[in-house]
Amino acid sequence: MEEHPSRLKAFLTELKRRKVYRVAAAYAAGAFVVWQAAEIALPALGFPGSVLRFVVVISLLGFPVAVVLAWIYELRPELRVSRDPSHHPSRLGWWPVLAAGLVVAGTALVAYIVLRVEGDARDETRLAIFPLHSRSPGGESLGEGVADLIAVGVDGTPGITVVDPRALWPPVLMASASPLADLDENRLAETSRRFDASHFVTGTVLDAGGSLQVALRIHESEDAAAIASVRASAPSDSVGPLVDQLAVDLVASLWRDDAIPAVGRVDQHATSSPQALGAYLEAMAHARRGRFDEATEAIERAVAADSTFALAHLEHFRIRGWVLSLNNQPKVGLREIIDRAMAFRDRLTPRNRLRVEAARALDDTDAATSAMLNERIIEIDSSDADAWASLAIIQTQDGWMLHRRFEDVRPTVERALELDSLNVPLLYALGLHHLLAGDTAAAAAAGMHLDRVNPEGPIPEGFRAGLSVLTAPEPALDSVIRAVSRQPAGPVIGALRITRLVDLDRSLRLAEFLRDSAGQVMHRQLGFGAALQISAALGQASRIDSMVHAPTVDPVLRSYVHRYLVAMALAGAGDREMARHAAEQLVPFAPLDSLAWAVETQIDAFAAAWAIGAFHASIGDTARARAYRDALLALGPMESTVPLWAESVAADVEARLAGRRGDEEAALAAAMRAYELWIIHDPSEGGWFPEPGIRFHLARRLDAAGRREDAAWLYRSFLTPHWTSFYTVLAQEALAVDPAGASER
């Protein structure tokens, strides 16, 4: 009878001697600290709740392992070193070790079941939320907006993934003005299955006398059977609380366990301001239908009503970017918008937080980071239309940064269009792929699709106008060009951009007609600039020089021509004496003794300073080059420019000075520093602007140093879909590619 107590006492004594208690206590304390840190850090870093549970389960699994190791660590040395036959290290046997092993196995089994069940739940619960049918007059924004906000609230809930509405909704919105009124549930079930959704949600919303009434139905995607319904009502000015309740009830209807996971709130992920929320929903409805003027006005009201509304700032960035693209304008003025979204991005769901960070990286022309963040979104939801569209645009515009050629990105473009067939920039890119491949029939079909999606937009009209110039029979070409010249500026710019990618001669004929015969001043200026760029690409420096003396050329346009002459000579495509004269003519735009004033007050002063300094560093007076270099370095941070631009231009001048004196290593190092300091690398900038000259000079230096592959990708930044005058022609020669840049010879 006394044997069992004595064995138990011996076992407990042995545990104490082996410091097992101490190890257990230390492990528990350490695990608690890890849990607390993980609970704070993981959500802030955008990790889902499953990662926190994984940390907890793994730490629990490690507890018996630590205890067993503490026991064995003491036991094995004693067995190994003891030589006294009278000494028995342990009469307890191996049963404690075996028991601990069973505990480890049991814990592992529990961990596997917990994580497997969670993984199964996540795989099984993929939700498609369709726009609600509004029974109120003019209520399209209300029905879509409530559905969109429910998707925002539910997305990120552990075990549930929401199909991106930007991919799910376009076919529905194209069907009719009241989408769900004419589509049966079997059709919606088919659409849901196409996006691998296990369930889909339909419903109605009614604004009756100041009260919102919403009814949702949850269906199985397999057979469209309704499995649950959710109802809620609230005052019309309480959309946020109403959506919160609907999201919670929706998750509760889908969840199989007793403990319902936390669901995001509208005021957490969006705004608590009814005015801001209403304006945001209105902007979203307008944007989906291509009404960007109305969308811009509404989204600006949203951010004015709540400056902390990160989701609205993100949408403002998108809408503004679309407006600039549709009007063929450079994407300037977006930085402050996306910076506001960045400041409040912690309020967003993990997916939208990644979107903001990707947009900020893209605004920095950091294509690699932006592409990586969009790929992370696609890992969350493989049918996220916005992420696919962003990735396609990044690969199309900045593929050279990702080591991807233009012709290699077409599968990404096509995948993005499968998810969002209404995306105008992507439809344009697909049409451009067809055009450059010589398939004018497919290009025309893409143009017709563009017309259907955005019939009065500058991009479709510009694509159609450019295609008409390229495909017109020679006898009819002049009349086609006259017809194009009567269109607004946006389509004319689009026609110039498309034709110069395919046929420089026809593009030049269009440009010269605009310059000499167009009725509008804007069109004549567009023709002047386009004729200058194309003449430079054809190596016609004398023709460009004659443009300087035209009586209609004002001083600003004349300085533009002078910069072109200098840039051509620096790249080896122009005349040195013409460039020398042009550099002298640029001095009033960037005077050495008042350079700071010029940079702050004149938009082209940086370009002029670069042209003067780089010319003298490469060809002219090296003392003047060093003087401009030092003056640029003395500028310091400027309020009106990116802070490092002056240092970048100074480094480029230094690189050319080093190359001139034969120090190739220093020249390459300075050229790389100039490229890195400029920060923003936009291949769509004009050939006279410093950045293309800095980029091309670095490519030449890398090529000379034997770093052919690095140089090749920089050369490719001047090829399709971009066109940068003589730089493009020189890059084509360096890479031995055809004029469209589609394939190497």
702 shares its domain with 561: yes
42 shares its domain with 160: no
- Mean pLDDT for 152-163 is 80
Q: What is the mean pLDDT of the chain?
A: 80
In a domain, 169, yes or no: yes
Per the model's pLDDT, the better-predicted residue between 54 and 315 turns out to be 315
Helix boundaries (H) for 307-409 = 310-326, 335-343, 350-363, 367-380, 385-398
When pLDDT is cut at 50, 70 and 90, the band that residue 90 belongs to is very low
Q: Which pLDDT belongs to residue 85?
A: 46
Q: Which pLDDT belongs to residue 290?
A: 64
Q: Which pLDDT belongs to residue 45?
A: 55
What is d(CA 719, CA 102) in angstroms, rounded to the nearest whole number? 65
When pLDDT is cut at 50, 70 and 90, the band that residue 87 belongs to is very low
**Percent of the residues in the chain that have a pLDDT greater than 90, as a whole number:** 30
Q: Which pLDDT belongs to residue 91?
A: 46
Q: What are phi and psi of 161, to 5 degrees?
A: -120, 135
Per the model's pLDDT, the better-predicted residue between 105 and 320 turns out to be 320
141 shares its domain with 224: yes
pLDDT tens column, 670-680: 999 999 988 77
Predicted confidence (pLDDT) at residue 216 exceeds the cutoff of 50: yes
107 shares its domain with 156: no
Per the model's pLDDT, the better-predicted residue between 705 and 644 turns out to be 705
Determine which of 165-169, 348-352, 547-551, 585-589 has the lowest per-residue pLDDT on average.
547-551
Per the model's pLDDT, the better-predicted residue between 591 and 452 turns out to be 591
105 shares its domain with 154: no
Choose the final residue of a domain: 257, 283, 314.
257
Predicted confidence (pLDDT) at residue 104 exceeds the cutoff of 80: no
117 shares its domain with 146: no
Domain span at residue 545 reads 539-745
Predicted confidence (pLDDT) at residue 587 exceeds the cutoff of 70: yes
156 shares its domain with 218: yes
In a domain, 410, yes or no: no
Here the tokens at position 231 are 């109802």
Determine which of 105-114, 181-190, 277-286, 465-474 has the lowest per-residue pLDDT on average.
105-114
pLDDT tens column, 72-83: 655 444 444 344
- Mean pLDDT for 686-715 is 90
What pTM was estimated for this model as a whole? 0.70
What is d(CA 608, CA 146) in angstroms, rounded to the nearest whole number? 53
Choose the final residue of a domain: 230, 257, 284.
257
When pLDDT is cut at 50, 70 and 90, the band that residue 626 belongs to is very high
Q: Which pLDDT belongs to residue 300?
A: 93
Q: Which pLDDT belongs to residue 117?
A: 47
Number of domains in the chain: 3
548 shares its domain with 664: yes
149 shares its domain with 235: yes
Q: Which pLDDT belongs to residue 35?
A: 67
In a domain, 289, yes or no: no
**Percent of the residues in the chain that have a pLDDT greater than 70, as a whole number:** 76
Q: Which pLDDT belongs to residue 330?
A: 60
Here the tokens at position 554 are 């004002």
45 shares its domain with 164: no
Q: Half-sphere exposure (CA, 13 Å, Cβ side) for 697?
A: 37
Determine which of 200-209, 301-310, 713-722 has the lowest per-residue pLDDT on average.
200-209
Choose the final residue of a domain: 257, 292, 312.
257
Q: What is the DSSP letter of 687?
A: T
pLDDT tens column, 352-411: 889 999 999 988 888 999 999 999 999 888 888 889 989 998 999 889 999 999 889 999
117 shares its domain with 129: no
Predicted confidence (pLDDT) at residue 181 exceeds the cutoff of 60: no
Q: Which pLDDT belongs to residue 97?
A: 52
Residue 585 sits in a domain whose CATH number is 1.25.40
Q: Which pLDDT belongs to residue 177?
A: 44
Determine which of 120-134, 145-159, 238-252, 492-506 has the lowest per-residue pLDDT on average.
120-134
In a domain, 312, yes or no: no
Give the DSSP letter string of 125-190.
-EEEEPPPEE-STT-HHHHHHHHHHHHHHHTT-TT-EEPPHHHHSHHHHHH-SSGGGS--HHHHHH
Per the model's pLDDT, the better-predicted residue between 129 and 116 turns out to be 129
345 closest CA partner among 361, 329, 330: 361
Q: What are phi and psi of 129, to 5 degrees?
A: -110, 115
What is d(CA 692, CA 673) in angstroms, rounded to the nearest whole number? 15
In a domain, 485, yes or no: no
Q: Counting Cβ atoms within 10 Å, is residue 246 exposed (0-12), middle (13-18) or buried (19+)?
A: buried
26 shares its domain with 117: yes
In a domain, 710, yes or no: yes
In a domain, 195, yes or no: yes
In a domain, 339, yes or no: no
Residue 132 sits in a domain whose CATH number is 3.40.50.10070
- Mean pLDDT for 54-63 is 70
Cα of first residue to Cα of last residue in the chain, in angstroms, is 95
